[in-house]
Amino acid sequence: MAKYQRPVLLLNKIVQDVADETGKVETVISWEGSGRGYDKSKFDNLREFLKESGFVTYAEGHANAHGTFIEPDKIQPLRDFANSVLNPQIFDDKVFEVDYWFHTGEELNKDMLFAFAACGDIWGNGLPRPTFAFDFNFNRTEVQLMGANGDSVKIKHDGVDFVIFKNPEVAKKLQEVSCGHIQIVGAPSLNEWMGRQSIQIMIDDIEIEQLRRKEYASYIAKTSYEKGVFEWQCDNSKIWNSKKIKKVSKNA
């Protein structure tokens, strides 16, 4: 399901010999199993979709986790019906429900993230883990590749580590971008090293966009001015005829 980002019906072929009132035995074939919806899409109720299709004998349970019974001659009509009425775009556009969204330029509330991370052992089916969205500008110096194959990534931003494991596509993309904008959905956890605890965000989803260096420099100048300094931070790359923004106090 995660690979194709589509709802799934997992069905078993059931063969039974059933006797009617006269004692005549007939072999009956059915397909029974369970359905699982893809909760990161706009398609939010697989059970109701199946029931409204008219091609299933039953679909009972939760909206996206339920039991299903389908007669053999209804399977292909159900496929055809789904293909005709469902727009693939609703699965391609991921939807995440988050508890808070930290926008570009907003300081991360590390105390809040730490508090949620420290409660990691209480989250479960009845109490889902808190999830947060982050978007911020970054440069290549904030990206660290990890693992023997360099396919795991740590992004350091505002005192917080954003981590994704064994994702060569993301690792490659981050190395190609010198200055960029990033959107992340993830959950906070605690990382402990030599008795010291720090916050890390385990990345569930990430989008990376290359920024023009002039755009990035403008952003850095604006946010640095608000903090009291101008500072150029973009990969030490040449820009504007090699002129760099000098680090000066705005009060100087």
Residue ranges and CATH numbers for the domains of the chain are: 8-92 (no CATH), 100-211 (2.40.50.460), 212-252 (no CATH)
Q: Could you give the CA distance from residue 68 to residue 204 in angstroms, rounded to a whole number? A: 29
- pLDDT for position 91: 67
Q: Could you give the CA distance from residue 58 to residue 101 in angstroms, rounded to a whole number? A: 39
For the chain, list residues with pLDDT below 50. Answer: 221-252
- pLDDT for position 212: 65
Computed over every residue of the chain, the mean pLDDT equals 79
β strands within the chain, DSSP E:
8-19, 25-36, 58-62, 65-70, 100-102, 132-139, 143-146, 152-157, 160-164, 179-193, 196-210
- pLDDT for position 250: 38
Q: Could you give the CA distance from residue 21 to residue 7 in angstroms, rounded to a whole number? A: 40
3-state secondary structure (DSSP) of residue 223 = helix
Report whether 49 contacts 67 (CB < 8 A): no
